[in-house]
Amino acid sequence: MAGVEVRFEDVWKSYEAVIALRGVTLTAPGGRITVLLGQSGCGKTTLLKIAAGLLEPDRGRVYFNGVDYTRVPAERRDVGMVFQDLALFPHMSVFENVAFGLRVRGVRGLELERRVREVLDLVGLDRSFYNRRVTELSGGQQQRVALARALVIEPKVLLLDEPLAHLDYKVKQRLLEEVRRIQRSLRITTIYVTHDQLEAMAVGDVIAVMRDGYVVQVGTPREVYENPRDLYVASFFGDANILDSRFAGLNSDGLVALRFEDVILNPNGDVDVVYEGVVEDIVFQGAFVSLEVNVNNRSLKLLVPRREFAKQGVSLGSRVRVGWKLSEVRGFNSGTT
């Protein structure tokens, strides 16, 4: 069964003199994960709180499956939310933290026990965790408890506000996989807030890039990455060289974007533009090696697969050639930054 579609229509919100949202219109498809991606202060958490009913918009409407929920109070929205600080009860056990929302809703006895056990099993916490206090758990385990507490009430919509921000890389990767697994098994509409582009690509079906209270581009991760709407999206969602268009090989004025991985080191033909330069920096990044090359006093960055780099015999100070296909250069309409 398809999940609940959440639609924001011309939503505005201000905090005194600060305009947090500026006419946001956005649809979060039912049964999918929509990621709100942007820098701090762009309005993504404000939009999430409006979806939850924790804030009311100054103007605009919010619809759940076409029904106007703008003034529906939070407790009547059937929404589960995981906050950045998790907001777990330190004096309660894992079981009681998860059961809290059910008790508030009047669920008791065997039904409560069944639902708590099922959701704890879903998030990978076995019975050995039930009686532990949350203060005795690791960060990743606490995150699983928070997710279980949000899911146990069987919400129509799941809202996640930077839920993995304070976790280390490996734990974060495991939990991102868990979030996707759980969401796919439940088919629950999920809106996920983050400032981390890699996190957004790992978890999102749809990505909405936000800036200064606007939604500036919406699409799948691949669509947004390969066809950024403007220079901001190109440089924020992924890494890109921002170049003068004529230097990049175009017969026009303005600025363009060229992804690091689309610059070829010492190309053997099959490119449209070639320059010579000097290697000024080399950073090993595991599967790839990042190079910075000075070309006519311009800094150009590229990513080279580790094995390919090893074949090149390049070191700091080496003179190299760099090139690219014109089809990889992304130009934009004037005024898009």
CATH of the domain at 297: 2.40.50.100
**Residue 186 sits in the same domain as residue 257:** no
| Cα 190 → chain centroid | 12
Q: Do 93 and 141 sit in the same domain of this protein?
A: yes
The greatest distance separating any two alpha carbons of the chain, rounded to the nearest whole angstrom, comes to 74
Contact between 306 and 288 (Cβ < 8 Å): yes
Quick one: 115 and 49 in the same domain? yes
Tens-binned pLDDT, residue by residue, of the chain (337 aa): 468 999 999 999 999 899 999 999 999 999 999 999 999 999 999 999 999 999 999 999 999 999 999 999 998 999 999 988 888 899 999 999 999 989 989 999 999 999 999 999 999 999 999 999 999 999 889 989 999 999 999 999 999 999 888 788 888 888 899 899 999 989 999 999 999 999 999 999 999 999 999 999 999 999 999 999 999 999 999 999 999 999 999 999 999 999 999 999 999 988 999 999 999 999 999 999 999 999 999 999 999 999 999 999 999 999 999 999 999 999 886 545 5
The confidence score (pLDDT) of residue 96 equals: 94
Residue ranges making up the domain that contains 92: 6-233
User: pLDDT digits over 6-63, tens only?
Assistant: 999 999 999 989 999 999 999 999 999 999 999 999 999 999 999 999 999 999 999 9
Q: Tokens 């026009």 label which residue?
A: 252
Torsional class of 135: left (φ above 0), alpha (ψ -120 to 50), beta (otherwise): alpha
pLDDT value for 1:
44
Q: Which of 233, 250, 265 represents a domain boundary (last residue)?
A: 233
Indicate whether 95 belongs to any domain: yes
The span from the CA of 195 to the CA of 28, in Å, is 18
Same domain, 220 and 291: no
Element (H, E) at 142: helix 139-151
Residue pair 116/108 in contact by the 8 Å Cβ criterion: no
Q: Which of 233, 268, 302 is the last residue of a domain?
A: 233
CA-CA distance, 196 to 202, in Å (whole number)? 10
Where does 104-188 show beta strands of DSSP type E? Answer: 157-161
Nearest to 308 by CA among 254, 278, 272, 264: 264
User: What integer pLDDT is reported at residue 337 of this predicted model?
Assistant: 53
Whole-angstrom Cα distance, residue 335 to residue 337? 6
Q: Are residues 220 and 262 in the same domain?
A: no
The answer to the question of residue 337 being in a domain is no
Are 134 and 261 within one domain? no
82 and 21, same domain (yes or no): yes
Q: Say if residues 163 and 147 touch (Cβ distance below 8 Å).
A: yes
Whether residue 197 is found in the same domain as residue 114: yes
- Burial track 290-321 (b if 16+ CB lie within 10 A, e otherwise): bbbbebeeeebbbbbeeeebeeeebeeeeebb
75 secondary structure, DSSP code: G
Cα–Cα nearest to 299, from 315, 322, 283? 322
DSSP 8-state secondary structure symbol assigned to residue 158: E
**336 found inside a domain:** no
Residue 83: the pLDDT is: 86
> Which neighbouring-strand residues pair with 157?
79, 189
Q: Are residues 273 and 219 in the same domain?
A: no
